[in-house]
Amino acid sequence: MSYMPYIQAAKVGIEFLQKSQEAAAQDALYQQNRLAAAQARDLKIQQLQAQANQTSELFAERKRQTSIQELKAQEQIINEATYGGNTLNMKLLDAEAQKLRANDAYTRQNSLYQQQISYQSQGIDAEAQNRINQVNQGVQPSLGMSLFSAAASAYAADEYYNEGKLFGTIFQLGSDATGNNTKPLPATPKLSN
């Protein structure tokens, strides 16, 4: 009797274990890549947020400076005014309007810069997702297919080396090892309604 059917079945089992180890290694690489991409994304977004905060502070400082300049202009207008009434009020309103226009411009610039930061953050997220997608996740081999493959390999080896003696006796119901039919097939019980 040849041991080739058993060797073929063992070979398929070893291949299954190797594929499982390769899948685990690939999955570890995928997870490591995913973590690195997320960390890189987070660092880039933190840098953008720091820039956004600095820019917001810069615009806020410009607004404060504009308010101070407007107050100084009002003080100067009042000190130089030898006239009263509507002319003084018009000059004061003009100084206030200039301050508001400057503040609106700063607010608009800050809003546009914040929107740009948002778009850059979305781009960084897309880059990270693309980097994650470049590495395939490990896929475990199918145990059922491996068992089926082991049985098929063992059966083929039995047919080739043992002339079907091992599996032939298993698949012949009611036959002895010589292939002679010694037992009748079992009766099928009738189901009652």
Percent of the chain surpassing pLDDT 90 = 0
Residue 141 has a pLDDT of 78
pLDDT band at 153 (very low <50, low <70, confident <90, very high): confident
Residue 62 has a pLDDT of 85
Residue 106 has a pLDDT of 85
- Render pLDDT for 126-149 as a digit per residue (tens, 0 to 9): 888 888 888 777 778 788 888 788
Each domain of the chain, given as residue ranges in start order, spans 4-171
Residue 77 has a pLDDT of 74
Q: Which residues contact 78 (CB under 8 A, 6 or more apart)?
A: 88, 92
- Render pLDDT for 77-111 as a digit per residue (tens, 0 to 9): 777 766 656 677 777 778 788 888 888 888 888 88
Signed CA dihedral, 145, 148, 152, 153: sign only: positive
Asked if residue 112 has pLDDT above 70, the reply is yes
0.75 surpassed by pTM: no
CA distance 20 to 143: 10
CA distance 27 to 43: 24
